[in-house]
Structure 1
Amino acid sequence: LTLGIHGESMGAATMLLYAGMLEDGADFYIADCPFSDLKEQLSYQLKKEYKMIPSLLIPIADFILRLREKYSIRHVSPISVIENIRNPILFIHSENDDFILPAMTKELYEKKQGPKMLYLAVNGRHAQSFNENPEDYRRVLDEFLKTYVVNGEFYG
């Protein structure tokens, strides 16, 4: 039995964190438009959407999070655990995504050791790679699966 996990946006970041901390036994992963670091993502969005100064707000939010939930924003960082993932990852991102920048996926791809592929969709905004590029998305997915899964057997 071959098991793959696909995540999109926050789901992709969560999947990478889970795999990087636990290497959960999935044979491959598909990360569609993940962020690489929550603090960076929040900083970007605070500046872009709200014209706020992240260096003032993020420490306050982090303090409240640590106090109430017992973890820190700095722990939500797929880039910090990506090197722990040994199994293949297909990274996907739309080039026109302005919610989570494609540079974050490129950074994850560069830091990931071992088997990996990167697909940057020409069309679409955030989480629209498949909807706006269905043929290319399927072609890349097929290529990834043929490279790492042959006749139901895993090759990594």
Structure 2
Amino acid sequence: MIGILGAAAAGVVALGGTGLAAAGNALFDLALNPRAPRSILARAGAGASAGVDTAVFAGDPARREARLWFDEAKRPVELPLADGGVLHGWRVLAPGVVPSPDGGRDDGASTDDLHRYLILCHGYSGRPSDLAREARAAHAAGFSVLLPAARGHERNADRYATMGCLDARDLVGWARLVASFDPRARIALYGVSMGGAEVMMASGLDLPDQVRCIVEDCGYTSAWDECEVQMGQLLHLPARPLLDAADAVCRARAGFSLREASAVEGVRRARVPMLFIHGSADDFVPFGMLDRVFEACASPVRERAVFEGAGHGACSYADPARYAALVGGFLDRHL
């Protein structure tokens, strides 16, 4: 993120006011265009950089073991889009769930009677397998798991990344896909960092009735807010006019606005129970953002949990037993 913003800021300094459009395009390509050779997403896809949101996972033996399980167990799944294209993801059906030839669930052959599904959403510059540990634990507890790749990530690198904005709309489609597979499904949404912002944005959309609850971990209030924070903390530069230029490029090239990518606005229309998690030492997605999304949440059931001393995306490492009990208990109560 430092390199992205630094390159864009350097463009403004070098080109002056007339260079704002060029700097906005440079920032967009570096941050959100996986087809730009020097972008952080292209580097992450090539293995050259794990990115901020995935750095905490490096070197974790349990996660490496879970990835081996995931690589063997996962099966591809596609979400058709209105424009005729598809988005790609992975799923692992729960033990006892048997798919029918027509693409649904064969209730006659299936022995599973829980009908529980968990959709897991990864962070910026990451990939679905970053959440393999969570997927494996959920699968062991009787869940079928679905792990979509966000736009601009992994097998969806033919599209621009949207910081959760269009991904949230896609998430509604993924939930409807699960509901069409199993009309009796009881679905939970779970996301970390950008994925946390994504599930919050989706909370205010027209989710199917099968979605019963949502868990977000260290999601930001909006893409604009997060970029503004990084520019101030890391570069000591004012957000404007650079972010205005980048936002104009986002609207023109990718069909979304950094301001529109707002978790705060999403949760204002939330209807299902929501659990908000954040580490008190998170300075990448500042801890204060937790208060803003929690207070804005309109759900009649909302809970929050703070993990003291935990950095960005590290709550499940700060106290694994508490984290597992917290999330597991919430899912059990609402599914």
Q: CA deviation at 1:11?
A: 0.5
1:62 has 2:247 as partner: yes
Query: Identical aligned pairs, as a percentage?
Result: 22
Instruction: State whether structure 2 residue 334 is matched by structure 1 residue 122.
Output: no
4+ residue segments displaced more than 6 Å = none
Aligned equivalent of 2:195:
11
d(CA) in 1 for partners of 2:253 and 2:329? 45
Secondary structure class of the residue paired with 1:120: strand
Greater alpha carbon shift after TM alignment, 105-114 vs 29-38: 105-114
Which of 207, 231, 237 is matched with 1:46 structurally? 231
Q: Any unmatched runs of 5+ in structure 1?
A: 150-156
Change (3 A) 1:103 1:24: farther
Does structure 1 residue 101 correspond to structure 2 residue 286? Answer: yes
What's 2:55 paired with?
none
Q: CA contact under 8 A between 1:6 and 1:29: conserved in structure 2?
A: yes
Contact 1:23 1:84 in 2 (8 A): no
The whole-number CA distance in structure 1 between the counterparts of 2:251 and 2:332 is 44
Letter in 1 for 2:278: H
2:318 corresponds to 1:141: no
2:204 to 8, 11, 20: 20
**Secondary structure in structure 2 of the residue aligned to 1:90:** strand
- Which of structures 1 and 2 has the bigger CA Rg? 2
Distance 1:85 1:46, change over 3 A: same
Deviates more, 1:48-57 or 1:136-145: 136-145
- Matched-pair contact (CA < 8 Å) for 1:94–1:102: yes
Give me the TM-score of the superposition, normalised by structure 2.
0.43
Cα deviation code 1:56-91 (max 9, x no counterpart)? 211010111112122211110010121211101110
Equivalences, count: 149
Task: Report the TM-score, using the length of structure 1 for normalisation.
Answer: 0.88
